[in-house]
Amino acid sequence: MSPKQKVYQGVLHEIRKYIDTHELKPGDKLPSERELSEKLQAGRSSVREALRAMELLGLIETRHGEGTFLSHYRPYHSVEVLSSFVLQGAKTKNDLLFAKKIIEKEAARIAYDHICEEDIKELYGIVHDTTLNSNEKHVAFFQFLFYKTENLLLARVWQLMDEFSYSISSISYDQTFYLELINLYRYKNYGEIEKLFYALPASE
């Protein structure tokens, strides 16, 4: 992994490799989070993020009391290869980051009606998690919001953009942004979400 790659993406790559190596098919059960952590020599939080990303993409499904099962898995390593060609121009990179910001804004707005007090606590926990760097916090934060939107297609589009984005530069926002967004959820201030994203600096 290059220094720019997020830890969870490295774990995601290892999980994909595990699926291929063991020739798992749709309907097959994956090892538990703890077992994957031990097999891949990775932290539980990183494994959890990778599994959440795969669930957002519809690659796996979690059945209460039964475990995690493979659904319609298909390798998409081509994302990493394509990124080296698609993202060569500065304008293309800026366009991607701009589009990604728009989708994140819409996710923040859609999630608004589904955020409860427990969710607010979890979002605070992500922001203040000292084991995550700024990019990892950003991904974990928005993975949670996309999960709350219950919109699988929107989550898949964002995930694809994120796969591309990590090869560009830092994709995170200033920490005050996340805290302000959480406060908008806490104090039921939907109208300010648009303004919060609008105030973000333009891509360079």
**The pLDDT value given to residue 7:** 63
Q: Is the pLDDT of residue 53 over 60?
A: yes
Q: Which residues have C-beta within 8 Å of that of residue 55, sequence separation ≥ 6?
A: 61, 62, 147
Residue 64 gets the label, from left (phi > 0), alpha (psi -120 to 50) or beta, of beta
pTM comes to 0.61
pLDDT band at 122 (very low <50, low <70, confident <90, very high): very high
pLDDT at 78: 44
CB 24 within 8 Å of CB 16: no
Would you kindly state where each structural domain of the chain is located, as residue ranges?
Answer: 7-70, 89-198
At residue 203, the pLDDT reads: 54
Nearest to 116 by CA among 190, 192, 186, 193: 186
Residue 4 above 60 pLDDT?
no
Summarize the confidence of residues 93-110 as an average pLDDT: 89
Compute the average pLDDT of residues 41-55.
80
Beta bridge partners of 1: none
Instruction: Give just the sign of the alpha carbon dihedral 64, 66, 70, 72.
Output: negative
Is domain 89-198 in CATH 3.10.180, yes or no? no
Three-class secondary structure of residue 4 per DSSP: coil
Report whether pLDDT(76) > 90: no
Residue whose C-alpha is closest to residue 82's, from 181, 160, 13, 188: 160
User: What's the topology of domain 7-70?
Assistant: Arc Repressor Mutant, subunit A (1.10.10)
- CA 170 to CA 98: how far, in whole Å? 14
Q: Taking residues 98-115, what's their average pLDDT?
A: 94
Of the candidate ranges 11-25, 31-45, 74-88, 158-172, the one whose mean pLDDT is the lowest:
74-88
Higher-confidence position of 85 and 132:
132
Which residue do the tokens 């303004």 mark? 195
Report the mean per-residue pLDDT for the chain: 81
CB 60 within 8 A of CB 69: yes
Taking the C-alpha atoms of residue 195 and residue 138, their distance in angstroms, rounded to an integer, is: 19
